[in-house]
Amino acid sequence: MTSAPRQTPASTPSPAGLPSPDHLRDDDAYTAGLIEYVSASPSSYHAAAQGAGRLAAAGFTGVDESAVWDKSLPRRGYVLRDGALIAWVLPAHLEGRAGYRVVGAHTDSPALKLKPRAAVVRDGLQVLGVEVYGGPLLNSFLDRELGLAGRLVTRDGATHLVRTPAVARVAQVAPHLDRSVNEALRLDRQAHLAPLWALADAACGPDDPERYLCEQAGIDPAELVAHDVVTFPVQEPARFGRSGELLASPRLDNLSSVHAALTALEVLAREDAEVRDPLILVANDHEEVGSATRSGAAGPFLDSVLGRLAGVMGVDGDARAALAARSVCVSADAAHGAHPAYGHLHDPVLRPVLGGGPVLKINAQQRYATDAVGAAVWARACAAAAVPYQDFVSNNSVPCGSTIGPITATRLGMTTVDVGQALLSMHSQREMCAVADGPLLARALHAFWLGLEP
């Protein structure tokens, strides 16, 4: 019944290299793992596959979503759906007051998405046709070397992950040609964000990018049907600051949360901890574009997996509804740290700082799902892990973003609390965070999953 998933996990660490409980208190080791994960995950498909590989190395078994699940389902397992991943740890015996303990995050980040066969020649250069994916800081694409990454799907339905070296760049106009560029930068998404990627010659055609991607993936271009490919900045993450206490990296929103949850789950596996509640990690795709897809939080993926797991545990009918009512979800997504140059954009009192611990996100319009009950769950987990946390509420004059939290709460009806690691430059192609905050978030998630009390 169980089998390797159709999407093969990427290269994995050895079991001997699994994080230990001490790893959750070692800023250097934790950050090295985050850098490795981000570097290996240039697209949501890579992030999910890398996560699956890490779980496999930790003793989790990949399960085929299209097969029937029965009592032989592994107690520690995972399933891939496109760029999303769900993993679970089931208790040996389900007690009467048990409930799912869910940690949710997302694998996607703002990018430029490659259009099909849309490359054109302009002024001696071939440029790529792209769409803007999500809500990025558009200027952060400028003058930055970009690779291409994602999945290629061939006529037989097989998925092939692909990743290129630096091949493209969105070149900015010189101030000699536009004297206003430093006063009022205006970027037209169609005209100004098309990456340059090749010197033109007589053979240039609109399908050049696809042929190149097929070469990189080792497949026949004639077999390619479609692709989901995005740009990514090739510059590696790097620590900086007087004592190396800060990290600059792409895709911290939201691979910082995915890595924290994976690390906490790996530690649980290494501890071989007995759990009282079914533990769930869900890393959805497409949060940056609204989550309304089959692998997004608004889709059926998590609800379907929870229902199937309930059946395996012998829970159905009203008992399943009761199980859901006793459940809690921690939605982990990047949070806004107070910006020293833009202090007026933050609440005058509630101003999370980098290095101050994970952030509890609150919003009266329920753009975040946190309520007092969920906040108490989070406070107990942080106290049990000896982790400080901070509150974030938006300035009333500044619109608030959202997360998978309200969507998950709406779909599943379980208590949900929104938390995250504080960032600056969110939605830039190079975001930043404090090194210390990652291990603190992972320790709090570890305590939440185990239901530890202070």
Nearest C-alpha neighbor of 255 from the set 401, 41, 88: 41
Same domain assignment for residues 424 and 357: yes
Same domain assignment for residues 296 and 161: no
Domain-embedded: residue 379: yes
Same domain assignment for residues 224 and 338: no
| pLDDT score recorded for residue 17 | 63
Q: For the residues of 153-171, what is the DSSP string, one character each? A: EETT--EEEEE-SS-EEBP
Same domain assignment for residues 124 and 222: yes
Same domain assignment for residues 277 and 398: yes
Same domain assignment for residues 90 and 119: no
Residue 222 sits at φ, ψ, to 5 deg, of: -65, -20
DSSP secondary structure letter of residue 139: G
Same domain assignment for residues 293 and 222: no
Count: domains in the chain: 2
Residue 207 sits at φ, ψ, to 5 deg, of: -100, 15
Same domain assignment for residues 217 and 289: no
Structural domain including 305 reads 21-109+250-450
Same domain assignment for residues 63 and 76: yes
Same domain assignment for residues 397 and 331: yes
Same domain assignment for residues 91 and 122: no
How far is CA 393 from each of CA 289, 302, 419, 431, 435, rounded to the nearest angstrom? 23, 28, 12, 21, 23
Nearest C-alpha neighbor of 285 from the set 37, 48, 40, 49: 48
Partners of 149 in beta bridges: 163, 230
pTM above 0.75, yes or no: yes
CATH number at residue 227: 2.30.250.10
Measure the CA–CA gap between 231 and 150, rounded to whole angstroms.
9
| pLDDT score recorded for residue 23 | 83
Element (H, E) at 127: strand 125-127
| Average pLDDT by stretches of 10, the chain with 454 residues | 39 55 91 97 98 97 97 97 98 93 98 95 95 98 98 97 98 93 93 95 86 96 97 98 98 98 96 93 98 97 98 95 96 97 96 98 96 98 98 94 95 97 98 98 97 90
Domain-embedded: residue 185: yes
Measure the CA–CA gap between 137 and 222, rounded to whole angstroms.
36
Q: Is residue 114 classed as helix, strand or coil in its secondary structure?
A: strand
Same domain assignment for residues 366 and 293: yes
Residue 146 sits at φ, ψ, to 5 deg, of: -120, 140
